[in-house]
Amino acid sequence: MPHRISKGQVIAFRLGAHCLTERLAEDGLPRAAGRCGIQNSPPGSALLALHARVGNFRQDQLASAVAEEKSLLQSWCMRGSPFYFPTSDAAVFTTGVLPPTEEAMRHLVSGVEPALDKLGMSFTKAVELTGAEIGDVLSGRRLAINELGAEIATRIARRLPQRQRGIWQENGPYAPGQPFGEGIVHFCIRILTLQRVVCFAPRTGNKAPLVLVNEWLGHPIPDVAPDLARAELLRRYLRCYGPSTRGGFAAWTGVHPGDTGPWWSLIEDEMTQVDFAGLPSWILTEDLDALLSAPMPKGVRLLPPHDPYTQIHDRNTIVDEKYHREVWKAAGGPGTVLTRGKLAGTWRPRLRGPKLTIAVKTFGALGDQDIKSLKDEAGQVAALRGAPAVEVEFEAY
């Protein structure tokens, strides 16, 4: 009979895997980012996610790791979103994420289909055309996606047959006034990040410039066999989100559940089936003991929107369903309050002059110690964001 796993055991195991049971030492930045990547949308959310995991974390540590040491890389990754991950693990979070089929790639960057169908071109061909131009356009430069996309689209248009060229240059279904071709190129560039061609340089104002990986690092990302990279990506998923299912992994990566075979089949002999919430789920066999004995964490964390811990398929595990719409909004979502292993509410920051106000909405009453710890945590968040003063406001849902 499969082990029957309780919700409390799952929460404790996942929090430990996400480095949220106890903060890592100051040198723990690569470990925190390498567990399952750190999403950075909205921009700046990765800073808060890392602060929740690494002791005495400062903004300049992240800046130095990305721009100077280049021990962290930022690139489009799971679900077509921007992530930080260790440069040494780049193959896992690029090659390991890249789907092997045309259909799965289209699903990962959902939205490209209407333009491609009208154009009569495969996504694979569009990526090849974009890849053939991007080196000449981007070499020695840092360009935002709109600038890069416009230049590449203009170059590609010259190489297309007349019928396709006309469609390529028409206004498309994406941004107002944006030609079909430019919109397609934007999607292709996301795939080229997974092909280790481009990545992000640090933001300049409101722009997130793209650069050639080889130029940015001074060397290419080493080749890793796709099967090895995909297998390791799935292991990292199960270490952070197990016990889970094909559907959970598909939601996390951004592919269709039916397209998970190229990952799942590689390590089936490394998994053990358990019973969670009355359904079959899977955990890495080597993690089963940790799952059965993980300690529940103490303390408070202010997690940002899209924190890795909250990017799960089985949302009922950590939040009552009646609060799902408050936690997981399509746009402009809040951060979440983690107290002693439970998501106890949401929070939003507001900068009023030099003072940062953190508005907390709770799912239930908080104890005095939790309130004190939360205020202490708010003070650290304010310092991280350069605000000399902080005020915490409380409201119940």
Q: Tell me if 208 is assigned to some domain.
A: no
DSSP-derived secondary structure for 229-288: HHHHHHHHHHHHH-SB-HHHHHHHHTS-GGG-HHHHTTSGGGEEEEEETTEEEEEEGGGH
Residues 232 and 86 in one domain: yes
Q: Tell me if 351 is assigned to some domain.
A: yes
Please report the pLDDT score of residue 175 as a whole number: 84
- The domain in which residue 283 lies consists of 3-93+224-293
pTM (two decimals): 0.95
Q: Tell me if 166 is assigned to some domain.
A: yes
Is residue 257 reached through a cis peptide bond, with omega within 30 degrees of 0 on the bond before it?
no
Domain stop point among 293, 308, 330: 293
Q: Tell me if 213 is assigned to some domain.
A: no
CA gap 388, 227 in Å, rounded? 49
Residues 7 and 80 in one domain: yes
Positions in the chain whose pLDDT score sits under 50: none
Please report the pLDDT score of residue 368 as a whole number: 93
Q: Tell me if 149 is assigned to some domain.
A: yes
Give the contacts of 293 (CB within 8 A, at least 6 positions apart): none
Please report the pLDDT score of residue 298 as a whole number: 85
Residues 231 and 88 in one domain: yes
State whether residue 86 is helix, strand or coil.
Answer: strand
Q: Tell me if 201 is assigned to some domain.
A: no
CA gap 311, 138 in Å, rounded? 33
pLDDT digits (tens, 9 = 90+) for 102-154: 999 999 998 898 889 999 999 999 999 999 999 999 999 999 999 999 999 99
Residues 146 and 230 in one domain: no
Residues 278 and 341 in one domain: no
Residues 71 and 28 in one domain: yes
pLDDT digits (tens, 9 = 90+) for 19-46: 999 999 999 999 999 999 999 999 999 9
Residues 228 and 88 in one domain: yes
Two tokens, residue 229:
């990279």
Element housing 5 (H / E) = strand 3-5
CA 50 to chain centre: 13
Residues 235 and 384 in one domain: no
* 8 Å CB contact between 82 and 340: no
Domain stop point among 143, 172, 194: 194
Tell me whether residue 289 is exposed, middle or buried, using C-beta atoms within 10 angstroms of its C-beta: 0 to 12, 13 to 18, 19 or more.
exposed
Looking at residue 360, which CATH number applies to its domain?
Answer: 3.30.70
Q: Tell me if 376 is assigned to some domain.
A: yes
Q: Tell me if 211 is assigned to some domain.
A: no
Residues 107 and 190 in one domain: yes
CA angle 6, 9, 13 (to 5 degrees): 145
Please report the pLDDT score of residue 353 as a whole number: 84
Q: Structural domain tally of the chain?
A: 3
Please report the pLDDT score of residue 316 as a whole number: 95
Residues 161 and 122 in one domain: yes
Please report the pLDDT score of residue 331 as a whole number: 85
